[in-house]
Amino acid sequence: MHLIRFLTYQCFRLAVVVLGVAMLNFLLIHSAPGDPAMVLAGESGAADPKFLEQLRRDFGLDQPLYMQLLHYLGNIARFDLGYSYRQNLPVLALIADRLPATLFLTVPAFLISLGLGIYWGRHAAGRRGWRLGAFTAVTAVFNAAPVFWMALILVMVFSYWHGWFPAFGIRTPGATQSLAGQAADIARHAVLPIVTMSLFYLAVYARLMRSSMIEAMDLDFVRTARAKGASRQRIVRRHVAPNAILPVVAMAGMQAGQLIGGSVVIETVFAWPGIGRLAFDSLLQRDYPVLMGILLVSSVVVIVINVLTDLVVGYLDPRIEIVT
């Protein structure tokens, strides 16, 4: 019963937040100078009043702002995200088209960085001397290096010098292979972007896990276990690690919410057709429906994942009880 009430409350909260997000985004985006008609004029290098008037009428921009907002909120309530001004395609179709490419990067990168990060951090907790120094230095580099720089370095080494992986794109154009062949083609293209994306979060999780382990080692029950004569390995496995992992799970939950947003930088450098780049491009192009659609979908996903994370942590940590 507690769970049902908890979830009902969360759904209600979700609806309120989504409405608030939609309104806020609408107002923010429309306050930026320029509109999609101006952007199209800029790209053509030529314009006259008729050109701008026509486009604005087609896009519904000639109506007063509050009318446009009401119209938009009404559509949202019916799960209609509208049409892209620029491409004249449904927003939902555009998002659905680009989302898989983003998830194909972010989910493997997330799993790799989480898994390797936890493993590495756990073992680094016991290290001293040069091994600790190496750990600190390497994670510092991965943490601090700008993503686009790391991406270009990887492209230079593995694509340009050695030709092992393609430099950009998600697939080879026009190749007609079997499904397996196409999958292999995409996988080859995905290696460098996934590696780039993993490196940053790998460092974050590794460090977090390590410091979390060290803190957990100092807790009372560890001393008790040692007094009882438990082996070091057993202590780490049964007492320290499960407790140390909680902050990492919380952090992972936060990152999971962002998976859907992708990384604009990585998608730009690798010409990867993901949703991060779609959002960025639609901002520059003032394609309001697309941008608002993406922000809306993102906020729904973030909220849902936050709730799930709360549930997971609540399950793992017996001290926490979910109450409404």
Partner 1 sequence: MSVTSRRTFLTGLFAGMTALVAGHFMAVPAAAQEPTRGGRISIALSPEPPVVMLGVNSSGPAQLVGGKIYDGLLTYSQSLDPMPRLAKSWEVSPDGLRYTFNLEEDVNWHDGAPMTAADVVFSLRDFLSETNPRARTLSSRITSYETPDDHTVVLTLSEPFPAFIRGFDVSTVPILPKHIYEGTDFRANPANERPIGTGPFKFEEWRKGEYIRLVRNEDYWNEGKPYLDEVVFRIIPDAASRLAALESGEIDLASNYDIDPVHTPILQQNPELEVTNEGYEFLGHISWLELNNRVKPLDDVRFRQAIMHAIDRDFLAQRVWFGNAIPATGPVASVTKYYEPDVASYPLDLDKAKALLDEMGLAPGTDGVRARLRLMQLPNGEVWTRMAEFIRESLSKIGVEVQLESVDSGTWVQRVGNWDYDMTINVLGQYADPAMGVARSYISSNIRQGVPFTNTEGYSNPKVDELFAKAASTNDESERAELYSQVQKILVDEVPVAWLLQVRFPTVYNKKFANVVTSAIGVVDNFDSVYIRD
Among 284, 315, 316, 320, binds partner 1 (CB under 8 A): 284
| d(C-alpha 80, C-alpha 78), whole Å | 5
Other CB atoms within a 10 A radius of the CB of residue 288 amount to 26
Per CB under 8 A, contacts with partner 1 among 93-122 are 94, 97-98, 101
| d(C-alpha 36, C-alpha 60), whole Å | 11
| Closer to partner 1 by Cβ: residue 49 or 318 | 49
Look-up of token digits 């008790």 = 224
Residue type, 217: M
Among 14, 19, 39, 107, binds partner 1 (CB under 8 A): 39
Min separation Cβ 89 and partner 1, Å? 8
Of 153-161, 196-204, 206-214, 292-300, which segment contacts partner 1 by CB under 8 A? 153-161
Does 309 bind partner 1 (CB under 8 A)? Our answer is: no
Per CB under 8 A, contacts with partner 1 among 54-73 are 54, 58
- Reduced 3-state DSSP string for 247-290: HHHHHHHHHHHHHHHCCHHHHHHCCCCCHHHHHHHHHHCCCHHH
Does 50 bind partner 1 (CB under 8 A)? Our answer is: yes
CB 151 within 8 A of CB 270: yes
Among 194, 251, 277, 290, binds partner 1 (CB under 8 A): 277
User: Taking every pair of C-alpha atoms in the chain, what is the biggest distance, in angstroms?
Assistant: 86
Among 261, 274, 289, 293, binds partner 1 (CB under 8 A): 274
**Binding map of partner 1 across residues 199-238, x = CB under 8 A, - = no contact:** ----------------------------------------
| d(C-alpha 100, C-alpha 178), whole Å | 20
Does 173 bind partner 1 (CB under 8 A)? Our answer is: yes
Does 308 bind partner 1 (CB under 8 A)? Our answer is: no
For the chain, percent helix, then strand, then coil, each to nearest 5? Answer: 75, 0, 25
* Residue 238 CB partners (closer than 8 Å, separation 6+): 225, 230
Among 10, 75, 159, 182, binds partner 1 (CB under 8 A): 159
Does 45 bind partner 1 (CB under 8 A)? Our answer is: yes
Min separation Cβ 287 and partner 1, Å? 9
Using only C-alpha atoms, the chain has a radius of gyration, in whole angstroms, of: 24
Counting runs of H as helices and runs of E as strands, what totals does the chain give? 14, 0
Strand-pair partners of 83: 90
Of 72-80, 107-115, 229-237, 270-278, which segment contacts partner 1 by CB under 8 A? 270-278
Does 166 bind partner 1 (CB under 8 A)? Our answer is: yes
- Please name which of 249, 194, 243 lies closest in space to residue 221, comparing C-alpha atoms: 243
Q: How many residues bind partner 1 (CB under 8 A)?
A: 57
| Main-chain dihedrals φ then ψ at residue 90, nearest 5 degrees | -65, 140
Does 146 bind partner 1 (CB under 8 A)? Our answer is: no
Contacts with partner 1, residue ranges (CB under 8 A): 32-36, 38-52, 54, 58, 86-88, 94, 97-98, 101, 148, 152, 155-156, 159-160, 163, 166-171, 173-174, 268-274, 277-278, 281, 284-286
